[in-house]
Structures are given as C-alpha cells and as structure tokens.
Amino acid sequence: IVMTQSPATLSVSPGERATLSCRASQSVSSNLAWYQQKPGQAPRLLIYGASARATGIPARFSGSGSGTEFTLTISSLQSEDFAIYYCQHYNNWPYTFGQGTKLEIK
C-alpha cells in the first residue's frame, strides 16, 4: 500500500491552524497512525486508530478519516510543532509510511 502525503511542505504562522493530508492507495480502514519527527530525533507517535491521541499528546492535535483519506489537524500552532509529520498504515503487512509533510514557520 502506497501512502501519499500532501502537501510536501506547508508554511503556516504560529497560532494558525494546519491541515495535513494522507491518502492510501487502497483502504486501510482506520488502521492509521501519525508521527511527528524533529531534526536529529526519533519519530513520536501522535495519533493511532486514525483519531485517538497517544498518551501525553496535546488536544490541539486531532486526526480524522477512514478508508483512504486521512487528515491531521493542529488547531493552533505552537513553536514546538514545526517538524516533519508522517502517516503510517498498519492494515496489512508490510506497514508503510508516507513520505512526510514538512511543517514550517511562515
């Protein structure tokens, strides 16, 4: 299954809303996770089951979608949110990641 993220780069001002998209080449049901990765760090799990926040993840992060279309929304961007975001399906093996969306400061 190929995961396609858009846009490749998103420029948003602090305090504004960011919407990141992920599309699967075939249905993955709700078996989708989102990760945040900062330079030199391992990815951090944000969302699993398409919409459930992982432990300790702030409420400004929300996920939605099912089937082939998914969205990660960050409601009010904080300085620490500027990073690369990856989606990953786990519907059937091998699980695959999208190529990432870089969220940068506008």
Partner 1 sequence: QVQLQESGPGLVKPSETLSLTCAVSGGSVTSSYWSWIRQPPGKGLECIGYIYYTGITIYNPSLKSRVTISLDTSKNQLSLRLNSVTAADTAVYYCASGYENFDFWGQGTLVTVSS
Any idea how long the chain is?
A: 106
Considering the complex, what minimum distance in angstroms separates the CB of residue 11 from partner 1? 20
Nearest to 101 by CA among 89, 85, 88: 85
CA distance 47 to 64: 10
- 58: its two tokens: 């702030």
96 binds partner 1 (CB under 8 A): yes
Of 7 and 14, which CB lies nearer to partner 1 in the complex structure?
7
Q: Please identify which residue in 24, 82, 86, 101 interacts with partner 1, judged by CB under 8 A.
A: 86
Of 8 and 15, which CB lies nearer to partner 1 in the complex structure?
8
Q: Which of residues 10-69 bind partner 1 (CB under 8 A)?
A: 31, 33, 35, 41-45, 48, 54-55
Pairing assessment for the beta strands 101-105 and 84-89 based on DSSP bridges? antiparallel
